[in-house]
Amino acid sequence: MANNIYSEMLEGLKIPERLSPENIAAMLDAKMLEQNNRAKISLSSAPENNISDSDNNVPADKQITVSGGKKRSLGFAYRTVASLAACAVMAFGLVRYFDSGEIQSVDSDIKGSTFATDYDEIHKTFRKYYVDDENKKTLDSVVAEIAPSYDDSQFDSTGDNAVSEPDVPLETTKPDDTVTTPPIADNDPTPENPTPVPDDTTTENPSFGSDVRLPEFDFSEDNENVLIGDGRIFVRDGSTVKVVLTNGGKMEYIGDAVPEYGLFETKTLEEIYTVDSRLIAIYSVVKEEPASVPAAAEQEQSIVGEMINNIYTDNSLSVKTNSVEIVVYDTYPNGVITAASVTSLKGTLTESRLKDGYVYVVTNYNNYRHSPLIGVEDLDGYVPSYTVNGEKCYVQPENILIPEYVATTDYTVISGIAAALPNVPVSVQAVLGTEDKVLVTDSAVYVFGYSNSQGTQSTTIEKFSLNYGIAHFDGSALVEGVAVKNGIAEDNGIIIVTTLKNTELGYVTSANVLDGNMNLVSKADFPAALKNVSFNKRKVFLSNGSEGYAVDFTSPSTPVQIEYQDDIDITSGLVEFSNGYCTLTKGDNGEIILAKLARNANDELYTECETVVYQSGGSSKALKDNRLLYCDGANGYIGVPYGYYDGFDYCYKYALYKLEPQGFVKVGEIESHEVDESFEMGKAVLNSGVLYIFSEGRIYSAAVGENALSVIGRADLIESSYSGHTDW
């Protein structure tokens, strides 16, 4: 055998009896009998949840017909394909799931993720990939190579340009079990124990009657701009945070938390959190400094000069750098607002989380190449840095993870900051060679990348658990195929990764499921290139414009095929209330209608009761986002903001309804007249028994009683220019 990339892999490999040349020929004959019968989906599950292998258990509608009209179960087709795929494995060296005996363990050498021992190791790795970085493959670049037509122009509603599906699915073996296909001979490919495909065609969405009116949502507005802490209310206003003291509903606006700008800096407020009376603000910072260009005449003949000229071109008048700033503010009752600590991280913000008083910030460190890479001592050229209260630090080498395949010279940096005791970051971890493909949950950070280990294109996953301000590395996983855009989700510790690969049989899209210990539990293969992926908890919906597939991983080890639905959940965005939902919609004549929806015995939605909040001509922020409705299902209260123009000015109201046996009853209302739209009411939050109602310009506090909505106080955030009607 000629030496090639696979020769060492195949040398000495024991070939199972079922993959002998005689049985391979028999399997190919069986394939010819089935070439016109395409299977729809293949499911792989853990061995402890094996499905019964009895032909008698296969429903008639899940059987397929082979030549001559003889009935065979889908399990037959799947097992045949498994044998063919096994042949392909022997030819191309793809041995991960075939005859492996078990799932790849987290500690497998094939994954190869290790922490650096010193800066010299990082420097050598960095230099190796620095020069030809543009030639390195990433998840995005490999997807483009696998399916060049994998874009919107090739997937339209008519399906004319859809990517063709293969004749059969590629793989049906269980990822942690051996191949179970028996030897096949005598032109009778009937398996002894065919495996039926579990199928659940029940619809995910309830049907609804003609009396049900569903909202048309537009979530473009940012309605998560208010936080209530320990006697403090924090309201976002651009990059400023307004601070209001509150005590039992009595409020006082004491001042603003405003970022401090350095020379050539612009800052954008990205997120706010509160711990006790402290405010934590996260800013994206862009610094654009004028470039100082060395004398070209002296540098023209040197390599360094050539590199500098490539950086500082005639069109480049400045050097732009990005960073993320985390400021912990102390807010005092006397109106003094000071920065207790300032942490600055090089790079751009990916995502952040607050957990148990600690703020975790994930950044992408990618735009630091503004000078040539010199030597190990030049840490700024290849190591992420950060500052704490002005003191500069570098990420320690033992906290920098180097994956088996370094796709780029970028870093993903995970930092933990103790907000209750602001000081240095509790933990700073970094992953070299990443692509800003990150999934952040309340308990962990997952960093995704590309790998080409042993000639197999795969997706790597590095997991960091979050506890006590520390991002702790929990191990790696490897799934075959290249992760697709928007194809990654997490539900209560279960990770679903959707990947694409191109095989001799055609495109295959796979949904891979991993547990909290990064073990591959099961997967489902779909015989097509599917670019549109969405999730409803552990249900996965995939389509490409002409065909759709869906699978349910509610039980992770036993995936179940379900019916694909274009509208995955018609109740998505509705607000749960009592034993159903409450909605705010526009009627046929422009009325604002509050309704209570419920389900009957057949799981059909119907309108239980409704009331007209305002006749034609009114408006409400909650029409675009029903989540702005205040809902207290336990006590039956619903708060509705709305407004209208009365011919003189804007009349803004907040009405409180209670659901009684006879329907909705209005128990109270707040009213204000303004000439500024900034006073239109929206979100309401119940805190310590007080209902706070927010607009951009004012906050109301109110007590919710049996038959009234009583105003306690108000705090004006901007000055009202109206001097006519009574406020309330």
Q: Is the pTM of this model over 0.95?
A: no
For β-strands 427-432 and 400-402, DSSP reports them as parallel
Q: How confident is the model at residue 220 (pLDDT cuts 50, 70, 90)?
A: low
Q: Closest Cα to residue 204, out of 561, 523, 499, 578? A: 561
- For the stretch 558-600, pLDDT in tens is 999 988 876 556 777 788 898 889 999 999 889 999 999 988 8
Q: Is 464 helix (H, G, I), strand (E, B) or coil?
A: strand
| In the predicted structure, residue 416 carries a pLDDT above the cut 60 | yes
| In the predicted structure, residue 670 carries a pLDDT above the cut 90 | yes
- Structural domain includes residue 40: no
For β-strands 391-394 and 385-388, DSSP reports them as antiparallel
Q: What pLDDT score was predicted for residue 504? A: 85
Q: What pLDDT score was predicted for residue 91? A: 34
Mean pLDDT, the chain, whole residue set: 75
For the beta sheet containing 637-645, the strands, ordered from the edge strand earlier in sequence to the opposite edge, are 630-632, 637-645, 650-660, 663-674
Q: What pLDDT score was predicted for residue 26? A: 57
Q: Are 41 and 549 in contact (CB under 8 A)?
A: yes
Q: Closest Cα to residue 540, out of 557, 526, 519? A: 526
| In the predicted structure, residue 492 carries a pLDDT above the cut 60 | yes
183-222 residues labelled b (16+ CB within 10 A) or e (exposed): ebeeeebebeebbbbbbeeeebbbebeeebbbbeeeeeee
Q: How confident is the model at residue 349 (pLDDT cuts 50, 70, 90)?
A: very high
- For the stretch 134-160, pLDDT in tens is 556 777 777 776 766 665 433 333 333
- Structural domain includes residue 164: no
Question: Which residue in this structure is represented by tokens 């930092």?
Answer: 415
Q: What pLDDT score was predicted for residue 11? A: 46
Q: How confident is the model at residue 486 (pLDDT cuts 50, 70, 90)?
A: confident
Q: Specify the number of domains making up the chain.
A: 1
| In the predicted structure, residue 20 carries a pLDDT above the cut 80 | no
- Structural domain includes residue 665: yes
Q: How confident is the model at residue 358 (pLDDT cuts 50, 70, 90)?
A: very high
Q: What pLDDT score was predicted for residue 22? A: 56
- Structural domain includes residue 674: yes
Q: Are 52 and 58 in contact (CB under 8 A)?
A: no
- Structural domain includes residue 460: no
CATH of the domain at 604: 2.130.10.10
Q: What percent of the chain has pLDDT above 70?
A: 67
Q: What pLDDT score was predicted for residue 675? A: 85
Q: How confident is the model at residue 337 (pLDDT cuts 50, 70, 90)?
A: very high
- Structural domain includes residue 561: no
Sequence-distant (≥ 6) Cβ neighbours of residue 327 within 8 angstroms: 257, 259, 280, 281, 283, 339, 341, 342, 343
- Comparison of pLDDT for 77 and 283, the residue scoring more: 283
74-98 residues labelled b (16+ CB within 10 A) or e (exposed): bbbbbbbbbbbbbbbbbeebbbbbb
Q: How confident is the model at residue 183 (pLDDT cuts 50, 70, 90)?
A: very low
- Structural domain includes residue 629: yes
- Structural domain includes residue 680: yes
Q: How confident is the model at residue 76 (pLDDT cuts 50, 70, 90)?
A: very low
Compute the average pLDDT of residues 183-207: 39
Sequence-distant (≥ 6) Cβ neighbours of residue 148 within 8 angstroms: none
Which range of residues forms the domain containing residue 592?
A: 575-716
